[in-house]
Amino acid sequence: MVEESLLAVLINGVFVKNFLLIQFLGLCSFVGVTKDLKSATGMSGAVIFVMTMAAVASFAIYTFILVPLKLEFLTLICFIVVIASLVQLVEFVLRKHVTPLYRSLGIFLPLITTNCAVLGVVMLNVMNEYPFIYSVVFAIAAGLGYMIAMLMMASIRERAEYVNVPGAIQGLPHAFLVATMLSMAFVNYFKVIPL
């Protein structure tokens, strides 16, 4: 069914098809939450967590409910509801049982519902017809790739605070110029890793 190996899915997800820098999924948080390293770490942690959970939940719902009932046309509506309720659920559980983690991730959780990276992972899982293990590995890989890009971007932007840039380039244009450089580095993984 799937000819790639698990390792290929993992490396592809983290580097070759990096979600932020190559596939442009989740850019709002990429420019919005990377002003300092601490919030970038929190956001990436929350995204990895929710992505993996969403991949498991959406796989179960797609395989055991939507396909047997021939309701594939409802995939999108179901997945968005699943992600939204999952985020709520995770928030409740964390607040009750893992308070320190909730304090560091809490404010980022609501942002994730409308993060296209999470919906992107579950839709790509369906489009690529990945079996269960592949879906989960792909979600983790995508999350790790997201984290790497977020942390690099945040570290660079933290230092760039002290750089004197021309007025018109301050803020977002500068962030996108940094992203250009990072993206150039990642594009070359196409050539380095022959998968």
Partner 1 sequence: MSKIVDEYIRGITTDNPVFGLVLGLCPLLAVTTSVENGIGMAAGAAFVLICSNMIVSALRKQIPAAVRLPIFIIIIATFVTIVDMSMEAFTPDMYTQLGVFIPLIVVNCIIIGRAEAYANKNNVFYSLIDALGSATGFLLVLVLMGGIRELLGTGAIAPFGHTLITVPINPATFMIMPPGAFLTIAILMAIVNYRKAKKLARGD
Token digits of residue 148: 């790497």
CA distance 137 to 156: 29
Number of amino acids touching partner 1 (CB under 8 A): 41
* Listed ranges 2-10, 91-99, 115-123, 148-156: which one lies at the site for partner 1 (CB under 8 A): 115-123
Q: At its nearest, how many Å lie between partner 1 and the CB of residue 100?
A: 28
Q: Which residue, 127 or 163, is less far from partner 1 as judged by CB?
A: 127
Q: Which residue, 30 or 102, is less far from partner 1 as judged by CB?
A: 30
The yes or no reply on residue 184 touching partner 1 (CB under 8 A) is yes
Q: Is the dihedral of CA 167, 171, 172, 173 positive or negative?
A: positive
CA distance 66 to 72: 6
Reading phi first (left if > 0) and then psi (alpha if -120 to 50, else beta), residue 46 is in: alpha
CA distance 35 to 157: 6
Q: Which residue, 60 or 74, is less far from partner 1 as judged by CB?
A: 74
Query: How many residues would you count in the chain?
Result: 195
The yes or no reply on residue 114 touching partner 1 (CB under 8 A) is yes
CA distance 105 to 143: 15
The footprint of partner 1 on residues 50-89 (CB under 8 A) is 73-74, 76-77, 80-81, 84
Q: At its nearest, how many Å lie between partner 1 and the CB of residue 98?
A: 25
- Name the site residues for partner 1 (rule: CB under 8 A): 21-28, 31, 73-74, 76-77, 80-81, 84, 114-116, 119-120, 123-124, 127, 167-174, 176-177, 179-181, 183-184, 186-187
